[in-house]
Structure 1
Amino acid sequence: MLRPLHQSRRQRLPAFAGGLLVLLAVAAFVGIALSALLAGRMTGGILQAFGDPVVRSVLSFTLWQAFLSTLISVGLALPVVSALARQPAFPGRIWLIRLMAVPMGLPVLIGALGLIGIFGRNGIVNDALVSLGLSQPISVYGLTGILIAHVFFNLPLATRLMLSALERVPAEYWRMSASLGLSPIATFRFIEWPVLARVIPGAAGLIFMLCVTSFTLVLIFGGGPAATTIEVAIYQALRFDFNPERAVSLALLQITVTGVILIGLSLLPAASDTGVTSGRRFHRFDGRRPLVRLIDALLLSLAGLFLILPLGQVVVSGLQADLARLISQSAFQQAALTSLLVALVSGATATLLAFGAVAARTEIDTLRNRNVGNRAMSIALASLSSLVLLVPTSVLATGWFLALRRSGEIASFAPLIVAGINALMALPFAVRVLEPAYREHRARTGRLAESLGLSVAQRLRRVDWPELKRPFLTALAFAMALSLGDLGAVALFGSENIMTLPALIYASMGSYRSTDADGLALLLGMVCLLLALLGAPGTRQASEREAPDAR
């Protein structure tokens, strides 16, 4: 009886050690950045930041644009969700739902270029307005452009979260509404709204946080000091004004704001995309009236056009560029090589950190008697997914920029620091991919592996790796794709220290070489699409495993 217990402890010890190593590595990386911020506070700080009228204006705009973006995204998602739920036989419904997953994995810079091509001064929308006789076309810059961009990226997220909740409504509810002869409005009031009301607060809170910490979209569409968020103000304080004191004060202010929002989010019901929104049909009887079908078809068509036109614009504009010339340029080759190396390092780091955290938490959950240390470790590992929201990219980059500036080694260590920041940014996604697969695998093979007396190395090689190889590759591919499209950390370190493909695209936009920027965006999008396709098999299998439970 003692030998299996001894073997169980021997198997758990490496997992506990791995989880502790993950916590120490993340704590050291984040701690050095925060220590540099506090040491560089000088005479500034939170109180002085709140006393600065410019900073107060930046804070007000940050919260205001986030509120409006959230309100519009959730408000527009409501009729789209109802239409999708009412019309299970709508032509192309499955593709529209899949299309809504694209903006969530699309590099922000590519989406921004597509939106400029549609809503910009010479875009399709303004050309149509001019042809109708309007002399003052819509400006895509400023608050208007920020809202359009945030809705483009967050409307699909809100739609998927809410549609996932509606798809879990029992079919008997819809049959009952049909037998009572409820109208679509009554059905929404008595069946859909009570379900959506439980999801909307969490979804809105998540979108609000994403808009508060938005950097690239505000940097591109902000259009000046009147439309600047805290993250962009940090970038401007370091890169243009070279005012480290203000950058530190703004970074501390950003942590305070995100901390308050996270506390508020913890009080709201969680909203999660369970993966059920893959087009599963269920019978609805309130969408069969001709007028309702016409309105729903119009809503879904407009939503599809809003998403697909910017993506198509990127492809069309990119193909008009001289791709062969761009590829042959040394600047592109160096930026592409740097991007791939940084993405590989950050992707591998994120995947290994995620595996260590997931393995340790799983082993802790299998313990019958968990002490205070076990519980604390499990909570700390679970909190890693929220760390990237509490300490955003701009804050980490600012802290490390100040730390490296004192040693004069910014250029030497910039690629590694950017890779580390991107790894933390991708860590929640890697955990989400690995955790269901690892827990299922551990439940099926754990006792057998212990009874065979396999060593840790033998178990990894013969039992774990063959089963977890595909989820590993999926997590690696998604983490690399996120790193490839990131501009936040790279922008703060500057092109003289590190040049990646997003930085090269942004530099081309700043130099008014829009055609080159479109071509580079197409090339970057193709690489990210290839990584997404490489990771797709693992995602598909995970969805197939989760679908029966969700139903």
Structure 2
Amino acid sequence: MARRAQPIGASVWVGAAVAALILSLTLGTLGAVFLRAERFSALGPADWAAVRFTLMQATLSAFLSVALAVPVARALARRRFPGRGLLITLLGAPFILPVIVVVLGILAVFGRNGLLNSALGVVGIGPLSVYGLQGVLIAHVFFNLPLATRLILQGWLSIPAERFRLAASLGFAARDVTRWLERPMLRAVVPGAFMVIFVICMTSFAVALTLGGGPKATTVELAIYQAFRFEFDLSRAALLALVQFGLSAIAAALTLWVAVPSVSGAGLDRIVARWDARHRGLRLLDGAWIALAALFLILPLAMIVADGLRALFTLPPSVFAAAGRSVAVALGSAVLTLALALPLSLAAVRLGRGIAGGMMEGVGALAIAASPLVIGTGLFILLFPIADPVALALPVTAVVNAVMSLPFATRALVPALRDAEESYGKLARSLGMRGFTHLRLVLLPRLRRPIGFSAGLAAALSMGDLGVIALFADPSQATLPLQLYRLMAAYRMEQAAGAALLLLILSLGLFWLFDRGGRVDADA
């Protein structure tokens, strides 16, 4: 039966206004970039080399992350051991860690004076360089191996236990289980995981800035930064930004195109008893994969804590001033994220699951196709004739970070809003609850968890941002990530370690405070 036409409420109009604002900050800044850009023939050999390197490193990073995640996810899927749940939870931590902090940890392990080269020196092998393509790949695998593992693990856990029981009754060996159950699941999950990581690596700026940067290891985003900061060539920066947006949009479209429907079917959600993995050799192999993955993820963070503790209380005042600015920007970004995500999500739910509601949700996900540097370049072009962009560095950084957090916030809020509306919407309307009263008494109490998570994620991501602020800020306005990068560039590594630990504590602390605040007494 068709639903009766509903009048368009104030929430839809507010959501439409927010959508228009987001479109202005994404497509509007892209339009400013397009108008400033020159012909594509203006790209020089170095620019095309940056395009090729961007595509190459993103492809290799995604391939390595997914290839290594498959055996790790398989091991986690078919083994039960103490601490398994904690390890799976920790796999989500790299996503909210500041990139520049992780880079410092990677240098402590893989750098010239790191643990790996020290061990190689004992056996007479020369030092390995972590800069260039190999450093970019190591950093990207660190960030994206956990993401790929979580995505592929969900695929393994989605195979019904009844399928494994049927396979056991048919006398399947381990290779038969792999062929008939696991490979079809991987065919459905792996392409999407590969393309998601590819898109993420396409717009990775801080990794390329700190570990790449040479003539042979320059990404498009790094080329934008160089054209902007060092040459102040706005036309070339605009053209490169347009190329970056085009590459990201194509990659995002391919992510949807390669998605394959799951073929596992439904089950009764029983625990899977993996008889096919009881062989001692398989147990040792799975244990080795889990141990190596845990060591690879934990060791750099442990080095950050160990090195940073010695310098944390001897940091110069400029570091703590930068930390204060970062906290202010992060809090502002969290508030702006919720101010944009809540009305947008509410409008998407009120408009239903049709085209209008889908378009409203799509606006929230639009930032995936744009990088912070592209939006920042467009905002600089728009602001430059009428104001001093440097003076607006911190507010602009907060706004751009809020827009970049929107896809994650809307994905958390829309399902929760939809459940609340389906469960309590009719009852609330029958009681005469409308507008703000409906929002305050019915919806917000049931949105505390996703609101807390969204605000915490936005604050943590903003704390670690080294994108827009690198374009706009002067030394007096440096945030903590930018101050940390400057300490590293000046080879003040002891102070850099202390600043990295401070940034790590603040990022995780803000996420915990918001997320915990959303869960306290949130029984509804």
Q: Shared topology, TM-score over 0.5?
A: yes
Q: The residue matched to 2:345 in structure 1 has which SS?
A: helix
Residue 183 (1) aligns with residue 173 (2):
yes
Runs of 4+ off more than 6 Å: 538-541
Letter of the 1:358 partner, please give it: S
Q: Which moved more, 1:385-394 or 1:511-520?
A: 385-394
User: Which of 175, 197, 200 matches 2:190?
Assistant: 200
Using a 3 Å threshold, how does the CA distance of structure 1 residues 544 and 122 change in structure 2: closer, same or farther? farther
Question: Quick check: 2:484–2:496 contact (8 Å CA) kept in 1?
Answer: yes
Q: How far apart, in 2, do the equivalents of 1:442 and 1:495 lie?
A: 47
User: Which of 376, 380, 383 matches 2:362?
Assistant: 383
Q: The residue matched to 2:385 in structure 1 has which SS?
A: helix
Q: How far apart, in 1, do the equivalents of 2:134 and 2:433 lie?
A: 61
Match of 1:238 in 2: 228
Letter of the 1:486 partner, please give it: D
User: Which of 247, 257, 262 matches 1:267?
Assistant: 257
Letter of the 2:26 partner, please give it: V
* Cα deviation 1:366-404 (Å, max 9, x = unaligned): 7xxx7xxxx3x4233222243222221111111112222
User: Which of 51, 60, 65 matches 1:68?
Assistant: 60
The 5 A counterparts of 1:91-106 are 91-106=82-97
Q: How far apart, in 2, do the equivalents of 1:477 and 1:433 lie?
A: 12
Compute the displacement of 1:415 (Å). 1.4
Using a 3 Å threshold, how does the CA distance of structure 1 residues 21 and 268 change in structure 2: closer, same or farther? same
Letter of the 1:300 partner, please give it: I
Question: Quick check: 1:107–1:485 contact (8 Å CA) kept in 2?
Answer: yes
Q: In structure 2, list runs of 5 or more residues that go unmatched.
A: 263-269
Q: How far apart, in 1, do the equivalents of 2:387 and 2:16 lie?
A: 32
Match of 2:371 in 1: 392
Q: The residue matched to 2:447 in structure 1 has which SS?
A: helix
Match of 2:74 in 1: 82
Compute the displacement of 1:21 (Å). 1.1
Question: Quick check: 1:73–1:154 contact (8 Å CA) kept in 2?
Answer: yes
Match of 1:549 in 2: none
Letter of the 1:343 partner, please give it: A
Compute the displacement of 1:537 (Å). 4.6
* Cα deviation 1:87-118 (Å, max 9, x = unaligned): 1x234322221221111121111111111111
The 5 A counterparts of 1:341-360 are 341-360=328-347
User: Which of 406, 415, 424 matches 2:403?
Assistant: 424
- The alignment's C-alpha RMSD in Å is 2.4
Q: How far apart, in 2, do the equivalents of 1:486 and 1:463 lie?
A: 35
Using a 3 Å threshold, how does the CA distance of structure 1 residues 408 and 361 change in structure 2: closer, same or farther? closer
User: Which of 19, 23, 31 matches 1:23?
Assistant: 19
* Cα deviation 1:109-162 (Å, max 9, x = unaligned): 11111111111111111111111111x211110011111111111111111101
Identity, % of aligned positions? 40
Q: The residue matched to 1:283 in structure 2 has which SS?
A: coil
Q: How far apart, in 1, do the equivalents of 2:40 and 2:250 lie?
A: 14
Compute the displacement of 1:40 (Å). 2.4
Q: TM-score, normalised by structure 1?
A: 0.88
Question: Quick check: 2:348–2:414 contact (8 Å CA) kept in 1?
Answer: no
Residue 506 (1) aligns with residue 485 (2):
yes
Q: Which moved more, 1:408-417 or 1:211-220?
A: 408-417
Q: How far apart, in 2, do the equivalents of 1:455 and 1:193 lie?
A: 51
Q: The residue matched to 1:247 in structure 2 has which SS?
A: helix
Q: How far apart, in 1, do the equivalents of 2:92 and 2:407 lie?
A: 17
Match of 2:454 in 1: 475
Q: How far apart, in 2, do the equivalents of 1:544 and 1:99 lie?
A: 25
Question: Quick check: 2:106–2:300 contact (8 Å CA) kept in 1?
Answer: yes
Match of 2:130 in 1: 140
Using a 3 Å threshold, how does the CA distance of structure 1 residues 288 and 137 change in structure 2: closer, same or farther? same
User: Which of 291, 310, 324 matches 1:337?
Assistant: 324
User: Which of 35, 38, 42 matches 1:39?
Assistant: 35
Question: Quick check: 2:466–2:481 contact (8 Å CA) kept in 1?
Answer: yes
Match of 1:548 in 2: none
Residue 14 (1) aligns with residue 10 (2):
yes
Q: How far apart, in 2, do the equivalents of 1:211 and 1:410 lie?
A: 28
Using a 3 Å threshold, how does the CA distance of structure 1 residues 422 and 201 change in structure 2: closer, same or farther? same
Question: Quick check: 1:146–1:218 contact (8 Å CA) kept in 2?
Answer: yes
Using a 3 Å threshold, how does the CA distance of structure 1 residues 117 and 477 change in structure 2: closer, same or farther? same
Using a 3 Å threshold, how does the CA distance of structure 1 residues 13 and 503 change in structure 2: closer, same or farther? same
Using a 3 Å threshold, how does the CA distance of structure 1 residues 344 and 439 change in structure 2: closer, same or farther? same
* Cα deviation 1:160-191 (Å, max 9, x = unaligned): 10110110111122223333443333322221
Q: In structure 1, list runs of 5 or more residues that go unmatched.
A: 273-279, 546-551
* Cα deviation 1:434-475 (Å, max 9, x = unaligned): 122211111122112211112422223333333323432221
Residue 307 (1) aligns with residue 297 (2):
yes
Match of 1:214 in 2: 204
Compute the displacement of 1:361 (Å). 1.1
Question: Quick check: 1:77–1:156 contact (8 Å CA) kept in 2?
Answer: yes
Match of 1:254 in 2: 244
Q: The residue matched to 1:90 in structure 2 has which SS?
A: coil
Letter of the 2:230 partner, please give it: F
User: Which of 411, 416, 430 matches 1:451?
Assistant: 430
The 5 A counterparts of 1:130-169 are 130-134=121-125, 136-169=126-159
Compute the displacement of 1:229 (Å). 0.5
Match of 2:106 in 1: 115
**Count of aligned positions:** 513
Q: How far apart, in 2, do the equivalents of 1:509 and 1:392 lie?
A: 24
Q: How far apart, in 2, do the equivalents of 1:539 and 1:215 lie?
A: 31
Compute the displacement of 1:271 (Å). 9.6
Residue 407 (1) aligns with residue 401 (2):
no
Letter of the 1:15 partner, please give it: S
* Cα deviation 1:183-235 (Å, max 9, x = unaligned): 33332222111111101111101111111111111111104111010001100
